[in-house]
Chains A and B, each alone.
Chain A
Amino acid sequence: MADQHTPDERFQELCAGYVLGALEPGERRVFEEMLEEASEEDRAWYEELKASAAQLSYGVERGEPSPEVKERLMRRIAGRAQPAAGQGVAPAREEDSWTRMAVAASFVLLVVSLSLIFYSFYLSSQLGDTRQTVERQEARIEQLTSELEQKEEMLAILGSREINVIFMSGMEVNPDGYGKVIWDPEQEQALLQVSNLPAVPEDKDYQLWMIRDNKPVSAGVFSMTDDMGNAFFKIERLADVREAAANAFAVTMEPKGGMPQPTGDMYLMGNM
């Protein structure tokens, strides 16, 4: 094959040096340019010469490197393999950090949530307290308004042109009790004031009677609690007695809601 074609000496010479890697850099470039424009035959010759040179490697004296070389090599490869694997590891680390961040965030969120829940409980209880306070105040206002109205009514009654006042004294069952009926015949209204009356049981009420011609007529029921030392009641039902002359007023304890006629003990009694 090679016998059939032989390049010119210049080509042969540079080619021989080139395949052995023995050319100076300048000559090497010259040969590479030469090779680019070489004929098929010259190229084939070059390839054969190159293969021959490669065979020389078999003739090299073999050596025995120290075992440390292999150890270092394998260590470095393991080290280099890590970054490659690290592309799998790095996101994992990122994942770890994300997980850690997520856990941390969850924890923070939990703490914040719990804080908010406790705070809302606190606010709610505060609100409840406030609401109770408001309710108490409202009740108080209502009570005061009611008392004020009562007092205004009482004052209105007292301010009437003509009023009758009937004093009542305690009877045997409760000698310390006393009371008054302030009666406005024009307006058909009356105020009852009682003091030192015992509290009535759950199933009882006090009942006010207007006694006319020795016949008691109910003027309404009221109840007393322990803390009511001195109480005022407005009496609306006096129309029946407007024309008739009342002889006396009395207070008895009757079953809850009152009775048509007195049945219980008499607590107060006063004559006109």
Chain B
Amino acid sequence: MIIFNLLMAIGSSPEGAEREMQLLRRIKRRDQQALEEFYELYKGLLFGMILSVVGDREEAEDLLQEVFLRIWEKASSFDESRGNVYSWVVTLARNRAIDRIRSKGYKTREKQSQVLDDEERGPTLEGNARDPLANTIYADRAEAVKKALREIPEEQRRVIEIAYYKGLSQSEIAGRLDLPLGTVKTRTRLGMMKLKELLEDTIEHHG
């Protein structure tokens, strides 16, 4: 029961992962209804992630659409044996967003005030009322990660969050935080090792 709850918490429950896989299989078969359901399942998370990276709502919506078009086009090339659907989709969205900010407008972005606030960044749980299971899964996942991040020293957590949620490179972070690049690298390394340690159990289950 504890293991089941843990699995639920990290979103690798049979229901969640299996559902994502089934949707993706239907998308492979060009089922537009499946893509619509997939969009409803992921829109909040992916939009939040993209928005946090690009910092512009209009651009984030544009990218979100691109990401789902890419999912639609590339679903057939997804290798089920190589990873779960969630990681694939999230990586796709994140890479897309980072490509966007690095391909243009970097200087504009650098001037932006990038305030990271735990409360702001916290998951919003409304908006997916039509899918209580998805809400539960993501809420639990989010809580687990937030809990882990809270246990990481502030200065380390900060560089990780800026790198991941804002899509900045280590050089950019050094510039932003007015820190030597070496310091950023060290803090990143230490912070990530701590995160790995904290999430170790869930990682083992999550694969």
List the interface of chain A (C-beta within 8 A of B): 1-2, 9, 12-13, 15-17, 19-24, 48-49, 51-66, 68-70, 72-74, 76-78, 80-81, 84
* Contact between A57 and B94, CB atoms less than 8 A apart: yes
* Contact between A69 and B69, CB atoms less than 8 A apart: no
- Which residue of chain A is the closest to B88 with respect to CB atoms? A54
Instruction: Please measure, in the bound complex, the distance between the C-alpha atom of A154 and the C-alpha atom of B163, giving whole angstroms.
Output: 138
Choose one: B35, B124, B186; the contact of A61 (CB below 8 Å): B124
* Contact between B65 and A73, CB atoms less than 8 A apart: yes
* Contact between B145 and A62, CB atoms less than 8 A apart: no
* Contact between A17 and B185, CB atoms less than 8 A apart: yes
* B25 contacts across to A, CB distance below 8 A: none
4 A-B pairs with the lowest CB-CB distances in the bound complex, closest first: A58-B141, A62-B44, A22-B163, A59-B145
B43 → chain A closest CB, angstroms: 6
* A64 contacts across to B, CB distance below 8 A: 43-44, 47, 124, 127
* Contact between A48 and B203, CB atoms less than 8 A apart: yes
4 more A-B contacts (CB under 8 A) besides A2-B196, A52-B192?
A22-B164, A22-B170, A51-B206, A56-B160
Instruction: Indicate whether B105 reaches chain A with its CB closer than 8 angstroms.
Output: no
6 contacts between A and B (CB under 8 A): A16-B191, A55-B206, A58-B138, A58-B144, A59-B142, A74-B36
Instruction: Please measure, in the bound complex, the distance between the C-alpha atom of A225 and the C-alpha atom of B138, giving whole angstroms.
Output: 124
* Contact between B188 and A54, CB atoms less than 8 A apart: no
* A80 contacts across to B, CB distance below 8 A: 69, 72-73
* Contact between A21 and B188, CB atoms less than 8 A apart: no
Choose one: B64, B94, B144, B192; the contact of A16 (CB below 8 Å): B192
Instruction: Please measure, in the bound complex, the distance between the C-alpha atom of A255 and the C-alpha atom of B173, giving whole angstroms.
Output: 143
Instruction: Please measure, in the bound complex, the distance between the C-alpha atom of A69 and the C-alpha atom of B63, giving whole angstroms.
Output: 10
* Contact between B193 and A16, CB atoms less than 8 A apart: yes
Q: Is the interface of A mostly helix, strand, loop or mixed?
A: helix
* Contact between B32 and A65, CB atoms less than 8 A apart: no
Within residues 154 to 204 of chain B, which ones have a CB less than 8 A from any CB in chain A? Answer: 160, 163-165, 167-171, 173, 185-186, 188-189, 191-193, 195-197, 199-200, 202-204
Cβ-Cβ contact count across A and B, 8 Å cutoff? 179
Instruction: Please measure, in the bound complex, the distance between the C-alpha atom of A101 and the C-alpha atom of B168, giving whole angstroms.
Output: 61
With A13-B185, A73-B68 as contacts: A21 and B123 at CB distance below 8 Å: no
* Contact between B32 and A81, CB atoms less than 8 A apart: yes
Instruction: Please measure, in the bound complex, the distance between the C-alpha atom of A48 and the C-alpha atom of B195, giving whole angstroms.
Output: 10
* B52 contacts across to A, CB distance below 8 A: 60-61
Q: Mark B25-46, 1 if CB is under 8 A from A, else 0.
A: 0000010100110010001110
Instruction: Indicate whether B74 reaches chain A with its CB closer than 8 angstroms.
Output: no
Instruction: Please measure, in the bound complex, the distance between the C-alpha atom of A76 and the C-alpha atom of B65, giving whole angstroms.
Output: 9
* Contact between A77 and B164, CB atoms less than 8 A apart: no
Most B-side CB within 10 Å, residue of A13, A21, A49, A59: A59
With A48-B203, A70-B39 as contacts: A63 and B164 at CB distance below 8 Å: no
* Contact between B189 and A13, CB atoms less than 8 A apart: yes
B33 → chain A closest CB, angstroms: 10
* Contact between B124 and A62, CB atoms less than 8 A apart: yes
* Contact between B199 and A52, CB atoms less than 8 A apart: yes
- Which residue of chain B is the closest to A72 with respect to CB atoms? B65
* Contact between B30 and A61, CB atoms less than 8 A apart: no
Instruction: Please measure, in the bound complex, the distance between the C-alpha atom of A56 and the C-alpha atom of B193, giving whole angstroms.
Output: 13
* B95 contacts across to A, CB distance below 8 A: 21
A84 → chain B closest CB, angstroms: 7
